[in-house]
Amino acid sequence: MTAWHHPVLTAYASEAAPTTAATEAYAHSPRAEEPVTYTPPWRRVCDCRCIIHHRLPRTTYNEPGCACTITCATQPLTLLAQQRGRALFLDQGGVLWHVPAMANGTWDWDNATRVDTRADVYDAGLVIGHLLRQAANVLDASID
């Protein structure tokens, strides 16, 4: 039996990938060869104008008075769980934390805590923590 080949798709697949002037210019620019540097969130400074952390590192996620946004440069890899009214994230040691959401996109950092057996998200947290660690490993590997 002979395999069927679509003539246009077969011709396209045998050609080099199409390029544009923009991709050609980028490929030959000095920036294309610069290594990508990655700074972990716990080594970055706050960029969200939090009155406690502005322009400072943040490694304590339940500091009283913290008003950091969930998009602050100091915030680690985070899953927004609207269904649970919270966000889940990994700290610098890979431990899963959760922070309750408040009104208008703010977060109750005073009540942020590690997910343990007493947390109402414990069962889901086992899976989510594993998936966030996998995602972090994939993203870290793709930086190099």
pLDDT greater than 50 at residue 113: yes
Give pLDDT, residue 103: 93
Give pLDDT, residue 47: 96
Give pLDDT, residue 33: 58
CA 49 to chain CA mean position, Å: 20
Asked if 107 contacts 68 with a C-beta cutoff of 8 angstroms, the reply is yes
Choice among 32-46, 58-72, 115-129 with the minimum mean pLDDT: 32-46
Instruction: Give the residue with greater pLDDT, 20 vs 124.
Output: 124
- The 10s digit of each residue's pLDDT in 132-141 is 999 988 988 7
Mean pLDDT of the chain: 81
Give pLDDT, residue 7: 37
Give pLDDT, residue 96: 96
As a whole number, mean pLDDT of residues 97-114 equals: 96
As a whole number, mean pLDDT of residues 58-81 equals: 94
pTM: 0.71
Q: Secondary structure of the chain in the HEC alphabet?
A: CCCCCCHHHHHHHHCCCCCCHHHHHHHCCHHHHCCCCCCCHHHCCECCCCCCCECCCCCCCCCCCCCCCCCCCCCCCEEEEHHHCEEEEECCCCCEEEEEECHHHCECHHHCEECCCCCCCHHHHHHHHHHHHHHHHHHHHHHC
Give pLDDT, residue 36: 65
